[in-house]
Amino acid sequence: MYSFQPDCWSEHEELKVVMLCAPTNLDVTDLTIAENVGWSATVNHEKAMENFMEFKTALENAGVKVIDYSKELPDDMKTVSEQLINRYFVRDLACVIGNSLFLGEAGSSLRRPEYPHAHALLEKWFPEKLNKQPSTALECGDVMILNKDAVLINIGMRTTLEAVKSMKERIFQKGFSEIGIIDLPRRADTLHLDMNCNVANANLVIAKNFMHYFPVQVFTAQTSRFEMTEQFLNHHGFDVYWLEKYNTIPDINFINLNPETLLISKQSTKQQWTKHPLLQKKKLIEVDVSELEKGGGGIRCMTLPLLRK
């Protein structure tokens, strides 16, 4: 169906193709409902759709091909999909590591229906690139490709060590030499790895300062050892810009459009982009995703990169 094949070896190279999903057509009408579904505030679906269209247009204007998987679903799936309030957080559903597509497995019953919907399409589009999903939870917001040498994975609230172990040999077969595993606090504001750190440049990671105290278990194809977070990142060519103050979702959850350009939330703390010399050189494209962010995730959560060059 598509002329390209999935291929991603970093978080910062030029983004060519990304999968999105339009938000539900339901409103979240009061704070009690929002609390019970894990959202921070009430949400109006018309405003959410306006945010989504601004977001989608910004990607397309930057030269990125956008696939909205909600438009590709067969009718028997659409009936349920249109009522799934978290379906626009597509990052968790799968991830491209190297030239393979790894399927995720839901760590939350509320999100479980989304996974077979998206997986059925991915299997149809890229049957030769697909790796089947693990038997235990793996949400791909916990997976971060540092570079062609290393992958960092969080085994916190929504991803299990067993799932990572089931896929690590296939990652090593792609040529990656190390997989770092970190176990972060299990809270709503630390739900996935990309709510705690993000790659902002070929040699820079932005991270919440508490991660400085966390060890990383480092697997190679034959060995295992422990390093501290900064040591592991330094070992793979990254300095760390530690944030002492942050607004979790807009400040951490951005995406690289290419090595020079970041797509960020208009709600982000502007000072953080001026304090670090590498970030001062970046082109920043701001989009209003404030209504979508009330669902508990940000720009990175809403994007599934399929091809970077």
CA 131/CA 94 separation, integer angstroms: 10
Structure tokens at 196: 């705690």
What's the pLDDT at 309? Answer: 94
Q: Provide the pLDDT confidence category of residue 31 given band limits of 50, 70 and 90.
A: very high
Q: Give the pair of three-digit tokens for residue 162.
A: 């067993």
User: Sorting pLDDT into bands at 50, 70 and 90, what band is 5?
Assistant: very high
pTM exceeds 0.85 for this model: yes
Q: Token match 């060059």: residue?
A: 309
Q: Which two tokens stand for residue 260?
A: 């020079």
Mean pLDDT of 247-255: 97
The secondary structure of 64-107 as a DSSP string is -EEEEGGGTS-HHHHHHHTT-TTTT-GGGGEEEEBTEEEE-B-S
Helix (H, G, I), strand (E, B) or coil at 122: helix
Mean pLDDT across the chain, nearest whole number?
A: 96
Six-digit token string for 206: 């932005």
- pLDDT, one tens digit per residue, over 53-103 is 999 999 999 999 999 999 999 999 999 999 999 999 999 999 999 999 999
How many helices (H) and strands (E) are present in the chain, helices listed first? Answer: 10, 17
Half-sphere exposure of 249 (CA within 13 A, CB side): 23
What would the two tokens of residue 259 be?
Answer: 């090595």
Cβ distance 280 to 274 under 8 Å? yes
Which element (helix H / strand E) includes 307? strand 304-308
Q: Using one digit for the tens of pLDDT, what is the confidence trace for 283-293? A: 999 999 999 99
Please give the class, per CATH, of domain 15-308.
Answer: alpha beta
**Percentage with pLDDT > 90 across the chain:** 95
Q: Region 267-288: what's the mean pLDDT?
A: 94
pLDDT at 132: 82
User: pLDDT at residue 1 above 80?
Assistant: no
User: In the prediction, which pLDDT does 133 show?
Assistant: 83
